[in-house]
C-alpha cells in the first residue's frame, strides 16, 4: 500500500473514531510536560519556567501527526502560594490543524515540610482548521468534503489537582470540560449528526516517585493514564535514571502501541534538554520510521535562589 493511500485510510479511521471519543495529542516525555494537561502544575517548580516540546510522529508517513507545545509558568502572590501560566499547543494530522491557547492558574496549600496540594483552573480557546483539498478523495463531489473548516473557535475550560513533595508527585485533571462540536450540522449538508466530531472528556492521571539509589544515582518510575469516554484506556509507563544530577536515561512503554528510549542532559542549573524515540509496536511501523520528540526547559531563578539539586519532575 502506498503511503498516501495509507494516509487517506488512516485519516478516515481517525475521523470516524473521533465521533465516539476523540484523543488529544500524546507525548512520550509527559513527565516534563505536565502543565499542558494539568493547570495545577503551574508554579510548582517555584521559579519562572519555560518549556518547549516538539514531536514528529510516524516519520516518513505523509500527513503524519506533528505536535508542538509551549508553556510558561511562575509562582505569584505574597507567599508564592499561587501559580500563573500560559499553555499553547499546535497539533496537525493530515488536513486537520488544531491549536489551543489557554491560561493556567493554581492555588496551593502546604501540607507538611515538603508537601504541597495545588488546585488548578484552565481557560482559553480551541482553534480548528481542516483543508480537505489535501486529501485524495475517491468521490470529489461527496458533500462531506465540499466545505473546509476555517478557524473554528471553541472555548476550553478545564481543571486539575496536583500534589507533590520533593520526591513524589501525583495529579488528576480534565483539561476540557466542554463537549464542544468541531463541526456544525450546517457545515456539511446531508450528513447525519453521527458524523459530527465531538470533543469528549479526557481524564489524566499522572504520578511518579524519585528513589535515591546512592549520592550520584536517582531512579524515577512514572506513569500516565489517559481515560476517554468510548475509547480504550491509554497507559504509559516510564523509568528514568538521573546520573550525577546531569544525565538522564530511561525507557518508556505505551500499552499496545510503542516502546521508547529517552535521554536528557541538565546543561546548566537553568537549562535542560531531552530527546525521545518511539518504536511503534503496531503495523504502522511497516510504513514509518518511528517517532521523535525533543523537549527544552529553561528556568529563571531569583538571585537569592540557590539550586542544590535540580528537580527530577
Q: What is the pLDDT of residue 184?
A: 43
Assign 3-class secondary structure to 128-182: EEECHHHCCCCCCCCHHHCCCEEEEEEEEEEEEEEEECCCEEEEEEECCCCCCEC
pLDDT (tens digit, 9 = 90+) per residue, 274-285?
999 999 888 887
pTM for the model stands at 0.83
CA distance 187 to 191: 9
Question: Residues near 61 by Cβ (< 8 Å), separated by ≥ 6?
Answer: 3, 6, 7, 284, 287, 288
pLDDT (tens digit, 9 = 90+) per residue, 142-178?
666 667 787 889 999 999 999 999 999 999 999 999 8
Map grid coordinates 488512516 to a residue. 10
- Domain regions of the chain by residue span: 3-212
For the ranges 19-28, 59-68, 167-176, 245-254, the lowest mean pLDDT is seen at 19-28
Amino acid at each position: 500500500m502506498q503511503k498516501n493511500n495509507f494516509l487517506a485510510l488512516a485519516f478516515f479511521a481517525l475521523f470516524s473514531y473521533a465521533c465516539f471519543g476523540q484523543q488529544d495529542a500524546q507525548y512520550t516525555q509527559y513527565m516534563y510536560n505536565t502543565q499542558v494537561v494539568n493547570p495545577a502544575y503551574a508554579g510548582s517548580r517555584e521559579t519562572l519556567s519555560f518549556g518547549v516540546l516538539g514531536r514528529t510522529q510516524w516519520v516518513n508517513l505523509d500527513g503524519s501527526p506533528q505536535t508542538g507545545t509551549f508553556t510558561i509558568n511562575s509562582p505569584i502572590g505574597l507567599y508564592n502560594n499561587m501559580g500563573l501560566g500560559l499553555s499553547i499547543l499546535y497539533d496537525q494530522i493530515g488536513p486537520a490543524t488544531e491549536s489551543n491557547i489557554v491560561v493556567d492558574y493554581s492555588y496551593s496549600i502546604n501540607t507538611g515540610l515538603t508537601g504541597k496540594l495545588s488546585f488548578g483552573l484552565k481557560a482559553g480557546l480551541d482553534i480548528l482548521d481542516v483543508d480537505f483539498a489535501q486529501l485524495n478523495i475517491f468521490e470529489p463531489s461527496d458533500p462531506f468534503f465540499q466545505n473546509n473548516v476555517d478557524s473554528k473557535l471553541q472555548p476550553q475550560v478545564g481543571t486539575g489537582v496536583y500534589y507533590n513533595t520533593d520526591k513524589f508527585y501525583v495529579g488528576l485533571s480534565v483539561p476540557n470540560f466542554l463537549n464542544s462540536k468541531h463541526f456544525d450540522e450546517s457545515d456539511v449538508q446531508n450528513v447525519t449528526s453521527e458524523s459530527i466530531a465531538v470533543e469528549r472528556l479526557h481524564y489524566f492521571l499522572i504520578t511518579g516517585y524519585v528513589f535515591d539509589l546512592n549520592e550520584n544515582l536517582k531512579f524515577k518510575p512514572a506513569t500516565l493514564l489517559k481515560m476517554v469516554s468510548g475509547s480504550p484506556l491509554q497507559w504509559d509507563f516510564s523509568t528514568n535514571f538521573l546520573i550525577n544530577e546531569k544525565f538522564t536515561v530511561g525507557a518508556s512503554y505505551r500499552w499496545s502501541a510503542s516502546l521508547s528510549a529517552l535521554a536528557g542532559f541538565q546543561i546548566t542549573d537553568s537549562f535542560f534538554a531531552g530527546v525521545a524515540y518511539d518504536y511503534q509496536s503496531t503495523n504502522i511501523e511497516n510504513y514509518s520510521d518511528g517517532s521523535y520528540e525533543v523537549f527544552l526547559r529553561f528556568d529563571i531563578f531569583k538571585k537569592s535562589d540557590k539550586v542544590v539539586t535540580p528537580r527530577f519532575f
